[in-house]
Structures are given as C-alpha cells and as structure tokens.
Chains A and B, each alone.
Chain A
Amino acid sequence: DIVMTQAPLSVSVTPGESASISCRSSKSLLHSNGITYVYWYLQKPGKSPQLLIYRMSNLASGVPDRFSGSGSETDFTLKISRVEAEDVGIYYCGQLLENPPTFGGGTKLELK
C-alpha cells in the first residue's frame, strides 16, 4: 500500500494568517497520463470529510479560493491563505493512484 505521511500533526494559526500542511507519499503519485492523484480533505468537528482539492491542484466545487494545492511526485502541500474560523478541523491527504486508496494520518488546524 502507498503510505501517506502528513506533517505537522497540528498547527495553530492566527485568523487572517496563512497555513501550510505537508504530505509525503511512499511512491510517486504521478501517473503516465500526467495526472497526479493526490487529494485533500477537511473534516470539520463532528462532520463527514469534504473534498477540498483533487488531482493535486484542482479546487473542488464550492471550495473558497483561499485553498490551494501544489507539489511534485511525492511531496505535496496544502496552503490556506487568510485562515478563517470555519477552516478549523482535521485535514487529510489521500491518494487514488493505486488500490487500496490510502489517507494520511491527519493534521489538526486550530485557531490561536
């Protein structure tokens, strides 16, 4: 299985500031078709996960453009600009290159 490793475990951010979360995969997520199959999800307290970013850098429908995804073949970053109170929760990266799909351990974002 592809192992997804996230850092840090938690991040505390002042509202209005930016935050970055890292994710590393145990193998390249770049397919020969040029698509990188890494995804970012946010699980708000008591809620189901919601898709933020798909295929490394594409914003999911309805997601504010304060969120952006970037990376290489094995190292990925989710950046949140101008953090707001509604961004609090646990962020997960995931991969869909190979079965089984796997997820990172999560990064908890809190407000200062």
Chain B
Amino acid sequence: QVTLKESGPGMLQPSKTLSLTCSFSGFSLSTSGMVVSWIRQPSGKSLEWLAAIDWDGDKYYNPSLKSRLTVSKDTSNTQVFLKITSVDIADTATYYCARNRYNWGFAYWGQGTLVTVSS
C-alpha cells in the first residue's frame, strides 16, 4: 500500500526558510521511473507544481521559483525534502507531495500540510 505524508512547521514568519518533509512507504524511490513531486495549493486556488526528484537523483524545479527551492532525498529513499527560502505571505498554502511513475500521472498524494506565513 502506497502512502505519503507531509510534515512542516505549520506557521512561520516572512523571510524565513520553510522546510518540508515527505515521508512515504509502499514503494522505493530507487525504483526505475519513480518521481516524487511537491505541489502546493493556496486556499481556494488551483495547483502549482514546485519541484521533483527522481529515482536517479535528478532534480527538477519550477523556473518561476527555482532560485528559492531545494529538493533532496534521504539515503534510504523513504523521505523527500523541500526547502523554500525567503518565504512571503504568498507562500501560504497547503503543500502536497505526490508520486508519479513514467508519467502515468500523480497517482498517489499525501494528505497535505498547511503552511501559513505570517508575522
């Protein structure tokens, strides 16, 4: 059974660095074709893809946010991390991690973690 779960600080102040963790089970990120992405959704708005890391350790970023994003994974291939620097109120959103394999679509999603940026 594939599961993903996001964790984060809940709330942080503007200009700080947001650190998010995606813990998953039921698959290995080292399996060929596997990709874990970060996607966010401000309240009442659509989805925005942020970054991804694949089975080969290759990293992909949304060009609009690339300078602020860092995606990584742990050596056991059971967690993926995302750091967003210099957060602003506009970064307030629910952050999801999702699994894709060979572009068959984001078939598995975590429950999401709400991050509020506020002073």
What residues make up the interface of A, taking CB atoms closer than 8 Å to B?
A: 1, 35, 37, 39, 41, 48-51, 54-55, 60-61, 92, 94, 96, 99-106
Is B46 a contact of A48 with CB atoms below 8 Å? no
Contact between chains at A48 and B112 (CB < 8 Å) = yes
B103 to chain A, nearest CB (A): 5
Q: How far is the CB of A57 from chain B (nearest CB, A)?
A: 12
Q: Is the CB of A48 within 8 A of B96?
A: yes
Query: Which residue on A lies nearest to B112, using beta carbons?
Result: A48
Interface of chain A, main secondary structure: loop
| SS class, residues of chain B in contact with chain A | loop
The 4 residue pairs across chains A and B that have the minimum distance between CB atoms: A54-B105, A48-B109, A103-B47, A100-B62
Q: How far is the CA of A22 from the CA of B105 in the complex (A)?
A: 19
Known A-B contacts A48-B110, A96-B100, A99-B60; A104 and B105 likewise in contact (beta carbons under 8 Å): no
Q: Are B46 and A51 in contact (CB under 8 A)?
A: no
Q: Within the assembled complex, what's the spacing in Å between the Cα atoms of A96 and B109?
A: 16
Q: A51-B107, A61-B107 are in contact. Are A100 and B63 (CB under 8 A)?
A: yes
User: Distance in Å from the Cβ of A7 to the closest Cβ of chain B?
Assistant: 14
Residue of B nearest to A49 (CB): B109
- How many whole Å from B98's CB to the nearest CB in chain A? 8
- A103-B105 in contact (CB<8A): no
In chain B, positions 23-66 with a C-beta closer than 8 Å to chain A are 37, 46-49, 60-64
Query: Nearest chain A CB to B24's CB is how many angstroms away?
Result: 14
- Of B96, B100, B103, chain A has the most CB atoms within 10 Å of the CB of B103
CB contact list, B75-114 vs A, under 8 A: 96, 98, 100, 103-107, 109-112
